Amino acid sequence: MENTEERSLKRKKRVKRIRKIIFVGFPVTILVLFVICLILIARIGTLKKALAGVRDELNFYLEAQSEREFAENIAAGVVSNAEGVTALASQPETEDNTASGEMTSEKMSDEEVESLLLGDEELYDGFRRVYLTFDDGPSVNTGQILDILKEYNVKATFFVIRKDGRNNEKLYRRIVDEGHTLGMHSNTHEYSVVYKSEEAFKEDTVSLQDFLYLVTGVESKYYRFPGGSSNRVSHIDMKVFASELHDMGIEYYDWNVSAGDAVIPRPDSGTVYSNVISGILNHESSIVLLHDTASKKSTVAALPKIIEYLQSLDDTVILPITDGTRPIQHLTTD
Ligand SMILES: [Zn+2]
């Protein structure tokens, strides 16, 4: 008898234990799993951001490399340095030239180059023209750059990429509202996407143009190729993309003066300043390549001094790129 009661008691205890597990243990397990999921989702978000940062850095690094190679080519005379317009010099083709590929044409005479560059903005005939251009923005520095330009009453050109978010939209609008030229620098700035094919390039450009139109009401007609038209990253002849842009009624602009602010290790503001000034003093018309990304603090720091120096020269004007501006293009139209 006692045994039966004992068994019954034990069974009751077991049932109670099982109920406890079901009613308490189960929800607790679910809750723990839920919290783990939330942590993992947050972690994935962080990793994605980090990955995007690394990808951006890589793209900008490739770009800096293109710019450096281009500068070295000018120094080595592989490309013409006559006012920075860049027909390949008509030298015998070296192995290097053939391998790098794309640009083969005749060298322009100095007079031709000069007339190309000085045909714009008649109002400023006889003046040395300087076009300050900022690539890769908007960024956390754009507001400060715009403030400096406003303070000195200078108009510049921003070759932007697509960045979503209310803050960025405000910056695109500030660029336009404050009288600067809004240019395009590709939607994604990812070489593998932008230069994948002619169709992909067109899609990327139209997508950015539409985006900017929606945000600012301005249809941008100005373009700067990621890495410049002389980049060596694209596997497709850059002339294909250049002709695509012309079909779309868009003009592209390279540069003949580089601030050298994209190189690693990062230059200090004094180096950026002297790169820009020494470049400008060598040209009658300068399209100056500067960068607007979070890491380019020295560019922002150098900007007031650059402007102050240029404004102290009686024969020099700082202008935004407009329809009347003669483009500087690293590719030649042959
Ligand atoms: Zn860029």
Q: How far is the CA of 103 from the centre of ligand 1 (A)?
A: 21
Q: How far is the CA of 7 from the centre of ligand 1 (A)?
A: 80
Q: How far is the CA of 250 from the centre of ligand 1 (A)?
A: 18
Q: How far is the CA of 225 from the centre of ligand 1 (A)?
A: 8
φ/ψ (deg, to 5) at 309: -65, -45
Cα–Cα distance for residue pair 78/55, rounded to 1 Å: 31
Q: What is the mean pLDDT of residues 312-328?
A: 94
- State the pLDDT confidence band at 121, using cuts at 50, 70 and 90: low
Q: How far is the CA of 189 from the centre of ligand 1 (A)?
A: 7
Q: How far is the CA of 78 from the centre of ligand 1 (A)?
A: 23
Sign of the alpha-carbon torsion through 70, 276, 177, 188:
positive
Which among 252, 179, 245, 165 is positioned nearest to 211, based on CA atoms? 165
Cα–Cα distance for residue pair 141/293, rounded to 1 Å: 7
Q: How far is the CA of 315 from the centre of ligand 1 (A)?
A: 31
Q: How far is the CA of 258 from the centre of ligand 1 (A)?
A: 13
- State the pLDDT confidence band at 17, using cuts at 50, 70 and 90: confident
Q: How far is the CA of 154 from the centre of ligand 1 (A)?
A: 22
Residues 6+ apart with CB under 8 A from 59: 189, 190, 191, 226
- State the pLDDT confidence band at 48, using cuts at 50, 70 and 90: confident
Share of the chain above pLDDT 90, in %: 60
H helices present in the chain, as ranges: 2-20, 26-76, 95-100, 110-117, 142-151, 166-177, 191-194, 198-216, 238-247, 269-280, 297-311
Q: Is 18 left (phi over 0), alpha (psi -120 to 50) or beta?
A: alpha
Q: How far is the CA of 240 from the centre of ligand 1 (A)?
A: 19
User: Does residue 52 surpass a pLDDT of 60?
Assistant: yes
Q: How far is the CA of 329 from the centre of ligand 1 (A)?
A: 16
Cα–Cα distance for residue pair 163/174, rounded to 1 Å: 15
Cα–Cα distance for residue pair 2/271, rounded to 1 Å: 97
**pLDDT attached to residue 242:** 97
Domain ranges (residues) in the chain: 58-318
Q: How far is the CA of 226 from the centre of ligand 1 (A)?
A: 5
Cα–Cα distance for residue pair 229/208, rounded to 1 Å: 18
The least confident of 20-29, 154-163, 298-307 is: 20-29
Q: What is the mean pLDDT of residues 146-151?
A: 98
Q: How far is the CA of 98 from the centre of ligand 1 (A)?
A: 26
Share of the chain above pLDDT 70, in %: 80
**pLDDT attached to residue 122:** 66
Q: How far is the CA of 203 from the centre of ligand 1 (A)?
A: 18
R_g (Cα) of the chain, nearest Å? 29
**pLDDT attached to residue 12:** 87
**pLDDT attached to residue 115:** 46
Q: Is the separation of the CB atoms in 249 and 221 below 8 Å?
A: yes
Check if CATH label 3.20.20.370 holds for domain 58-318: yes
**pLDDT attached to residue 266:** 87
Q: How far is the CA of 294 from the centre of ligand 1 (A)?
A: 13
Q: How far is the CA of 32 from the centre of ligand 1 (A)?
A: 45
Report pLDDT digits (tens) over 194-210: 999 999 999 999 999 99
Q: How far is the CA of 57 from the centre of ligand 1 (A)?
A: 10
Structure tokens belonging to residue 97: 């030239």
Strand partners, 289: 133, 258
Q: How far is the CA of 235 from the centre of ligand 1 (A)?
A: 18
User: For residue 265, is the peptide bond before it cis, meaning its omega torsion is within 30 degrees of 0?
Assistant: yes
In 222-246, which positions are buried (b, 16+ CB within 10 angstroms) versus exposed (e)?
Answer: bbbbbbbbbbbbbeeebeebbeebe
Report pLDDT digits (tens) over 1-15: 557 888 888 888 888
Residues 6+ apart with CB under 8 A from 87: 79, 80, 103, 105, 106, 107, 108, 332
DSSP 78: S
Q: How far is the CA of 117 from the centre of ligand 1 (A)?
A: 24
Q: How far is the CA of 210 from the centre of ligand 1 (A)?
A: 19
- State the pLDDT confidence band at 258, using cuts at 50, 70 and 90: very high
More confident residue, 265 or 83: 265
Q: How far is the CA of 126 from the centre of ligand 1 (A)?
A: 32
**pLDDT attached to residue 131:** 97
Report pLDDT digits (tens) over 208-255: 999 999 999 999 999 999 999 999 889 999 999 999 999 999 999 999
Q: How far is the CA of 141 from the centre of ligand 1 (A)?
A: 15
Which H or E run contains 287? strand 285-291
Alpha-carbon 195 to chain mean position: 15
Structure tokens belonging to residue 222: 């100005």
Q: How far is the CA of 64 from the centre of ligand 1 (A)?
A: 8
Structure tokens belonging to residue 1: 């008898």
**Count of Cβ atoms closer than 10 Å to residue 324 Cβ:** 12
- State the pLDDT confidence band at 334, using cuts at 50, 70 and 90: low
